[in-house]
Amino acid sequence: MIKKFRSKFDEFINKWNDFLVVHHYDTDGICSASLVSIALEIRGKKYKNLSLSQYDEDGWRMVLKHSSKYKNAIFLDLASINRNIIEAFERVMIIDHHQLKNYPNYVVYINPRLKNSNVYIPCSYIIEKILNLKEFRWIGIVGTIGDMGFDLLKKFNISEKNWKKTKLGKIAMVIDSVKVIGGKKACEKIVKFIAKSNSPNDVLKNYGKFYIKYKKELLRLIKDFKRNKKVINDFIIYRIFSKYNFSSTLATILSRKFKNKTLVISQKEKNGSIKVSLRSSRLDLTDFLDKVLKDIKATYGGHPQASGITFSNEKEFSRFLEKIKSFYS
């Protein structure tokens, strides 16, 4: 499988000269973009990277804006890409690990689920294997830690129990803090920094300050969660009030403690939309969201155990909560 992916990847980036690299702004997406940047640098290619969340309307508009300058696009760790975005570029490569999508035949599509629909391999792990450059293996490992791909890291003695104590685990936490505290622009900067770093220590030294702020706010939110969470059947519902975008991160952290519950963590965006992160080890969130969001205006996607939703307003979010209340009745 990797040999076939490597052939597709090499053919695409060797043949063309200018690339827009668009990546998800979590740890896996950031590490994926850093690895692709290394590959492009080695070949002397012109490129720009853009960081965004899956349902970031402003971010997707920026992608369209750059399509006038870049003919070739590489999309990394993004669960779904609309047809109008794909058609804005002459050539497109998508490297992803989410549920399979029916993209046009001319798209170069790299996804391990093409071989096994149930396999879980983070995007950065795939790209590291494609590049096969030992000196940059640590970047793929960090991205895999960020996406909880611990089954792939046994040979490195990294597990769900000990990852926080490892150097690369600490780097994964620092990168996540950059996303939360610094936002998209900081994510784009750290992509470049990682690609040019001489060692993992450079990331800890230069970006540790983000983690200090992150840790302080995270502890405050966990205390607030204990006081203000609401339990509806097997769902735990909590609204974040913070100037930082913590919904996805907090949902992931809490899911390790509440393994028999479905977490629904929401946060209001500056534009008035409601961003919701869901985590569950007992529900298939893909099927669940398909059912409960049938007549609700929302964009959503992700994995069976980790998904996200964006509601345009509070009214639509409230309708979703009502559906949750009656889900088991």
| pLDDT (tens digit per residue) in 234-271 | 999 999 999 999 999 999 999 989 989 999 999 998 88
d(CA 308, CA 306) in angstroms, rounded, equals: 7
CA distance 301 to 236: 20
- d(CA 193, CA 6) in angstroms, rounded, equals 25
Say yes or no to pLDDT of 189 above 60: yes
pLDDT at 322 over 60: yes
Mean pLDDT of 95-116: 92
- What integer pLDDT is reported at residue 84 of this predicted model? 94
pLDDT given at position 328 = 66
Give the Cα separation of 146 and 152 in Å (integer).
12
Q: Is the pLDDT of residue 117 over 90?
A: no
Tell me what pLDDT residue 9 has.
97
- Residues of the chain with pLDDT > 90: what percent? 81
pLDDT at 267: 96
**Residues 101, 73: Cα–Cα separation, whole Å:** 17
Tell me the pLDDT tens digit for each residue of 32-53.
Answer: 999 999 999 999 999 999 999 8
Q: Residue 159: pLDDT above 90? A: yes
DSSP H helical ranges for the chain: 2-15, 27-42, 57-66, 83-86, 123-131, 137-146, 167-177, 183-196, 200-228, 247-255, 285-292, 314-325
pLDDT tier at 24, thresholds 50, 70, 90 = very high
C-alpha span between 21 and 38 (Å, rounded): 12
The pLDDT value given to residue 222: 97
Mean pLDDT of 282-299: 91
Q: Give mean pLDDT, residues 115-143.
A: 95
All structural domains of the chain, each given as residue ranges with its CATH number in brackets, are 2-196 (3.90.1640.30), 229-325 (3.10.310.40)
pTM for the full predicted model: 0.88
Distance, in Å, from the CA atom of 178 to the CA atom of 208, rounded to the nearest integer, reads: 9
What is the widest separation between alpha-carbon atoms in the chain? 60
